[in-house]
Amino acid sequence: MDKKSTTFGMGNKHLAKLLGLGVEQGPSGEPSVHEIKADLLRASLRGTLPLDSAVVEALPALLGRLREEVLPLGGKPLGEVLLDERTELGLLDKIKEHWKGRSAAGSSEAAHAVGITIYFAAIASALLFHDTKITSYSYPFLAQSFETMTEKLWMAPELARHFSKARKLCKKKAK
């Protein structure tokens, strides 16, 4: 008798994630904590960068340079900015600080988790794209943190890959 696979080629790790989603669902079909975090993370990554108050105050002075300097970032979703190797180091540091503050002031577990995720994504981007550590955390600590991020069931796949690359780099630098 020819045995047919019922897993559609999925590996054990992927199957465990799928099963975990089913187990985590709340009563009467309420979204699980993982689903709430995933939705909030996706919404945050799709959102645009908040305008810095200094930019708003200096707007009249910027009008002459608007097309050259401000428009390339204008309207870009945060997720794109974090994963774009052309993003300037200073901007990554500002994103890190902004989301560090938001994670500390998180009104819920999901908001805190998303804040921490974007905070570490900015750190990972600085490491990967500028070979610069914008935190006082050690390379071994960062490697462990990035690994933890990749294991989150609610993590956006593109960020999981980003964290995985940053983890490898940190492990190499820790030697």
Q: What is the pLDDT of residue 154?
A: 92
User: How far apart (Å, rounded) are the C-alpha atoms in residues 18 and 153?
Assistant: 9
- Nearest by Cα to 110 from 39, 45, 163, 23: 39
**Could you read off the pLDDT tens digit of each residue along the chain, which spans 175 residues?**
445 444 455 555 554 554 454 444 455 567 788 888 888 788 878 876 554 544 445 444 444 443 344 444 556 889 999 999 999 999 999 999 988 887 777 678 888 899 999 999 999 999 999 999 999 999 999 999 999 999 999 999 999 999 999 999 999 998 8
Q: What is the pLDDT of residue 164?
A: 97
Q: What is the pLDDT of residue 63?
A: 43
User: How far apart (Å, rounded) are the C-alpha atoms in residues 82 and 71?
Assistant: 17
Q: Quick one: 37 exposed, middle or buried, by C-beta within 10 A (0-12, 13-18, 19+)? A: buried
Q: What is the pLDDT of residue 27?
A: 55
The whole-model pTM stands at 0.69
Q: What is the pLDDT of residue 155?
A: 95
Phi, psi of 48 (to 5 degrees): -90, 165
Could you tell me where the DSSP H helices lie in 25-175? 33-46, 53-57, 59-62, 78-83, 89-104, 109-130, 139-150, 157-174
User: How far apart (Å, rounded) are the C-alpha atoms in residues 55 and 160?
Assistant: 32
User: How far apart (Å, rounded) are the C-alpha atoms in residues 162 and 175?
Assistant: 21
Task: Compute CA distances 101 → 28, 58, 59, 75, 83, whole Å.
Answer: 35, 24, 25, 22, 21
What are the extents of the domains in the chain? 32-47+78-174
Placement of tokens 């820790």 in the chain: 174
Q: H or E element: which one contains 16?
A: helix 12-24
